[in-house]
């Protein structure tokens, strides 16, 4: 189905879903023993770029609310994420299996940090910037993360509860300026080497953890293995969203929700598509329409929808912390 606006078209799920269920089954029967999304998927597309076997589209195209733009190829994203992996491993002394809470909006550093975690085998926990101090305290205590990465707006909230989090060792600030007691991410990234050997991760090793919304109680942690999202969304990207290396995907969800990972990381990048992102802090329909109406050649398969509502866990302060991790592995 195509939506026309003047001479520009937005392709929405143009391919029909495959009915070859034998092909679906093969995808999961042939899961490799070892798998790392950064090295086994992103680096492969980077090599295709070098070999001239991928269209000259960026891997990530980001536009800020002020109109600033970032366009990174897979090779550029790879170099930056290798630097980030070195920052996390060397400056923060994090190792395979350690956990990092990432509280960032839709900014390029979100992708740099999370892909850096993949390379280092560090388990990352994305969270929305709408969290309150009590929400952050709950997550820090329940997950036992050793580091947190966030921005100027959220850093004071982290500081207000950090003394109650004995496992938290490093605080990393993504900001133009600095803050006492925090490591400055941009400075460390510039100083770090862009050479990094990816950690060998098994397909069933944990890669990321998302918290549920906490609608009826404290959120629970849902653990996703390296192959769960890293391979499991191949069918969605290829046959449901109709993505390919010529396509561009725009995911509108908040970074703290797993829906963002579906549409702005795994499904498009498994197909070599470009991830498009707008840095709006809150969903604004007119901003979406303005982007759609300018010269951005979107070929998007994402439904335009408002971010999921944020449910504060602070209202449930009489309940004990639920430290259960629900594993969502294939």
Share of residues in the chain with pLDDT > 70 (%): 79
* pLDDT digit string, tens, across residues 219-263: 999 999 999 999 989 888 888 888 999 999 988 889 999 999 999
25 compared with 69, residue with greater pLDDT: 69
Tell me: pLDDT of 12 over 60: no
Q: Identify how many contiguous H helices and E strands the chain contains and give both numbers.
A: 13, 14
Tell me: pLDDT of 167 over 60: yes
- Among 246, 212, 201, 274, smallest CA distance to 38 is for 201
Domain 2-304+312-327 coded CATH 3.30.1050.10: no
Least confident segment among 22-26, 138-142, 166-170, 308-312: 308-312
Band (pLDDT 50/70/90 cuts) for residue 19 is very low
Q: Give me the pLDDT at residue 58, please.
A: 95
Q: Give the C-alpha separation, 61 to 68, whole Å.
A: 11
Residue spans per domain, the chain: 2-304+312-327
Q: Give the C-alpha separation, 138 to 132, whole Å.
A: 10
Q: By the 8 A CB rule, do 304 and 288 touch? A: yes
Burial of 102 (0-12, 13-18, 19+ CB in 10 A): buried
């Amino acid at each position: 189905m195509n939506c026309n606006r003047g001479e520009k078209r937005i392709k929405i799920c143009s391919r029909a879903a495959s009915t070859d269920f034998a092909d679906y089954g093969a995808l999961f029967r042939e899961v490799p023993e070892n798998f790392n999304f950064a090295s086994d998927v992103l680096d492969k597309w980077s090599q295709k770029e070098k070999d001239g076997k991928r269209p000259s589209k960026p891997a990530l195209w980001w536009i800020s609310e002020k109109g600033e733009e970032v366009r990174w190829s897979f090779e550029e994203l790879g170099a930056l994420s290798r630097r980030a992996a070195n920052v996390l491993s060397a400056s923060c002394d994090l190792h395979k299996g350690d956990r990092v809470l990432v509280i960032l909006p839709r900014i390029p550093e979100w992708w740099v940090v999370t892909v850096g975690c993949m390379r280092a085998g560090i388990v990352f926990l994305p969270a929305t910037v709408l969290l309150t101090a009590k929400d952050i305290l709950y997550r820090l205590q329940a997950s036992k993360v050793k580091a947190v990465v966030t921005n100027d707006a959220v850093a004071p909230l982290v500081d207000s509860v950090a003394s109650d989090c004995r496992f938290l060792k490093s605080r990393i600030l993504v900001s133009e300026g600095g803050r006492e007691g925090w490591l400055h991410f941009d400075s460390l990234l510039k100083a770090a080497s862009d050479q990094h050997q990816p950690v060998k991760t098994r397909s069933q090793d944990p890669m990321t953890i998302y918290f549920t919304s906490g609608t009826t109680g404290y959120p629970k942690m849902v653990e996703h293995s390296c192959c769960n999202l890293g391979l499991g969304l191949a069918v969605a990207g290829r046959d449901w969203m109709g993505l390919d290396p010529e396509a561009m995907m725009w995911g509108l969800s908040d970074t703290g929700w797993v829906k963002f990972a579906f549409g702005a990381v795994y499904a498009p990048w498994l197909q070599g598509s470009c991830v498009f992102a707008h840095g709006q802090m809150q969903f604004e329909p007119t901003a979406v329409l303005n982007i759609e109406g300018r010269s951005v050649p979107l070929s998007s398969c994402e439904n335009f929808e408002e971010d999921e509502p944020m449910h504060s866990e602070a209202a449930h302060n009489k309940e004990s912390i639920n430290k259960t991790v629900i594993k969502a592995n294939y």
